[in-house]
């Protein structure tokens, strides 16, 4: 088999697995999770904790997962991730208390903590000079699952539960979520031969594993350029996490719309990302990463601060299109720029540290916004988050050099 066909086969396997994993995980999260938490009696701060808890897992485990995939191979790590994607949603039927929901969300986060950096490392292994394009295309394919997930989850909730769904209705939907997640697990077995295995047949020693992890993490975390670039997507994800947690509540409570409207809004954003991320990835391959990232952060900032200033559904859709444009500019370029900057041996660790910083932002978004909303209205709370984006963008623009692989 030619190298180009092997690359296409591996890439398409990742696309298919990622699609169903994202479909399941997206349904479990937006808009279902925030409304499920609210039905359990959770406060605004508690809703933010539940939404952000699965992302907290990635903060601590993405870097080790990436390193282990460098050593033991990507295929075993992908299998472990899809086992969690497929089986964990069924445990939501046991939940009758908010505290148990937080525990299960933490465990559910292992799926993306393992899968995210490993899939990205595979792409960096095979992409060559097309890192931005393949990252954008892969992300867009996965987002097709998320595109279906948000309106599907919101629509099922409206259909089965009306305007005031019971806990039983939420649990019925989570059974569907588990069935969809199990498809990704089945695809790993079906496409086993297309997935990369361990390059070396020699089993590494425990000391060898620990030494590689220590050396590669040190190479990444002591590199200011890598950390600042990785932090850009993490900071941008403050806004994504905040919207995931509180846009459904804002839409249904403050704006007086329905859970279906909340799902459609998230779907609109994903449509924009699906179409624009490959385009922005190719643009950054050719024109450079830094200007695309900087402009994208500014666009996200402007759209985010305008959300709580309107209750009109059409205007909210327009803001979501603008926000999706900015997010596509940032997220199509940051991972590729990190891969070009890193000095670590193997992309697993650098993608793991990148993913951990991504998760710091994603987890902090709902938690910080929940705390702010417990004391402030939506406008000042969103304003504080916007100021953080502005400060981070200024630091990136001032201190990060153009990545060596960019034009």
380 alpha-carbon distance from chain centroid: 26
Tell me which residue range forms the domain holding 101: 3-192+216-399
Q: Is the pLDDT of residue 90 over 90?
A: yes
133 HSE (CA, 13 A, CB side): 11
> What three-state secondary structure class fits 165?
coil
Q: Quote the CA–CA distance of 87 and 343 in Å, as a whole number.
A: 37
Among the ranges given (78-82, 145-149, 254-258), the one the predictor scored with the smallest mean pLDDT? 145-149
Q: Which residue has the tokens 């305008």?
A: 306
235 to each of 117, 203, 223, 230, 359, how far by Cα in Å? 18, 38, 18, 9, 10
> What three-state secondary structure class fits 385?
helix
Give pLDDT, residue 162: 78
Return the closest-CA partner of residue 185 out of 81, 109, 106, 74: 81
CB atoms within 10 A of CB 219: 17
Q: Is the pLDDT of residue 15 over 50?
A: yes
Domain membership of residue 204 (yes or no) is no
Could you tell me what percent of the chain has a pLDDT over 90? 25
Q: Quote the CA–CA distance of 281 and 276 in Å, as a whole number.
A: 8
Residue 254 DSSP one-character state: I
pLDDT digits (tens, 9 = 90+) for 30-48: 788 888 888 888 887 788 7
Q: Is the pLDDT of residue 74 over 90?
A: no
Domain membership of residue 406 (yes or no) is no
> What three-state secondary structure class fits 139?
helix
**Higher pLDDT pick, 37 / 59:** 37
Q: Quote the CA–CA distance of 236 and 331 in Å, as a whole number.
A: 9
- Mean pLDDT over 184-198 rounds to 82
Domain membership of residue 234 (yes or no) is yes
**Higher pLDDT pick, 125 / 236:** 236
Domain membership of residue 208 (yes or no) is no
CB atoms within 10 A of CB 87: 15
Average pLDDT, the chain: 84
- ω into 31 cis (within 30 of 0): yes
Give pLDDT, residue 315: 94
> What three-state secondary structure class fits 99?
helix
Cβ neighbours for 28, distance < 8 A, ≥ 6 positions apart: 89, 92, 108, 174, 177
CB 149 within 8 A of CB 19: no
Q: Quote the CA–CA distance of 19 and 172 in Å, as a whole number.
A: 22
Q: What interhelical angle do 347-373 and 98-127 show, nearest 10?
A: 140
Q: Which residue has the tokens 């465990």?
A: 107
Q: Quote the CA–CA distance of 385 and 357 in Å, as a whole number.
A: 17
Torsion of CA 51, 53, 54, 56, to 10 degrees: 130
Q: Quote the CA–CA distance of 384 and 161 in Å, as a whole number.
A: 35
Domain membership of residue 71 (yes or no) is yes
Domain membership of residue 197 (yes or no) is no
Sign for the CA dihedral angle at 381, 384, 385, 387 comes to positive
* Token pair for 50: 């539940």
Q: Quote the CA–CA distance of 285 and 337 in Å, as a whole number.
A: 10
Give pLDDT, residue 329: 93
In the chain, the number of structural domains is 1
Residue 222 DSSP one-character state: T
Q: Tell me the CATH number at 230.
A: 1.20.1250.20
Q: Quote the CA–CA distance of 215 and 106 in Å, as a whole number.
A: 28
Under the banding of pLDDT at 50, 70 and 90, the label for residue 406 is very low
Domain membership of residue 405 (yes or no) is no
Give pLDDT, residue 346: 64
Report CA Rg, the chain. 20
Which segments of 81-142 are extended strands (E)?
A: none
Domain membership of residue 346 (yes or no) is yes
Could you tell me what percent of the chain has a pLDDT over 70? 94
- Mean pLDDT over 48-58 rounds to 79
CB atoms within 10 A of CB 384: 13
């Amino acid at each position: 088999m030619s190298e180009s066909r092997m690359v296409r086969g591996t890439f398409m396997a990742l696309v298919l697995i990622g699609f169903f994993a994202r479909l399941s995980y997206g349904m479990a999260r937006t808009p279902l999770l925030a409304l499920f938490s609210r039905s359990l009696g959770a406060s605004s701060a508690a809703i933010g904790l539940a939404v952000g808890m699965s992302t907290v897992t990635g903060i601590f485990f993405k870097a080790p997962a990436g390193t282990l995939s460098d050593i033991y191979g990507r295929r075993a790590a992908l299998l472990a991730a899809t086992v969690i994607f497929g089986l964990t949603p069924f445990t939501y039927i046991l939940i009758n208390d908010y505290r148990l929901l937080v525990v299960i969300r933490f465990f559910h986060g292992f799926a993306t903590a393992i899968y995210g950096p490993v899939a990205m490392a595979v792409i960096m292994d095979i992409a060559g000079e097309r890192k931005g394009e393949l990252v954008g295309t892969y992300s867009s394919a996965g987002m097709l699952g998320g595109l279906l997930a948000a309106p599907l989850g919101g629509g099922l909730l409206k259909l089965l539960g009306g305007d005031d769904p019971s806990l039983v209705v939420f649990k019925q939907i989570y059974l569907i979520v588990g069935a969809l997640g199990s498809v990704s697990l089945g695809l790993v077995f079906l496409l086993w031969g297309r997935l990369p295995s361990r390059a070396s047949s020699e089993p590494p020693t425990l000391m060898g594993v620990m030494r590689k992890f220590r050396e590669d993490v040190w190479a990444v975390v002591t590199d200011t350029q890598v950390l600042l670039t990785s932090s850009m997507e993490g900071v941008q994800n403050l806004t994504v996490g905040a919207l995931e947690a509180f846009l459904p509540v804002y839409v249904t409570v403050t704006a007086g719309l329905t859970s279906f409207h909340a799902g459609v809004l998230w779907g609109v954003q994903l449509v924009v990302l699906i179409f624009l991320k490959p385009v922005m990835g190719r643009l950054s391959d050719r024109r450079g990463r830094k200007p695309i990232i900087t402009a994208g952060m500014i666009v996200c900032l402007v759209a985010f601060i305008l959300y709580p200033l309107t209750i009109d559904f059409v205007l909210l859709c327009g803001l979501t299109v603008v926000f999706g444009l900015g997010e596509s500019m940032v997220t199509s370029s940051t991972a590729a720029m990190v891969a070009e900057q890193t000095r670590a041996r193997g992309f697993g660790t650098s993608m793991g540290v990148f993913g951990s910083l991504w998760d710091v932002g994603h987890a902090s978004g709902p938690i910080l916004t929940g705390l702010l909303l417990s004391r402030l209205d939506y406008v000042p709370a969103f304003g504080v988050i916007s100021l953080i984006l502005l400060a981070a963008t200024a630091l990136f623009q001032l201190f990060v050099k153009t990545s060596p692989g960019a034009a």
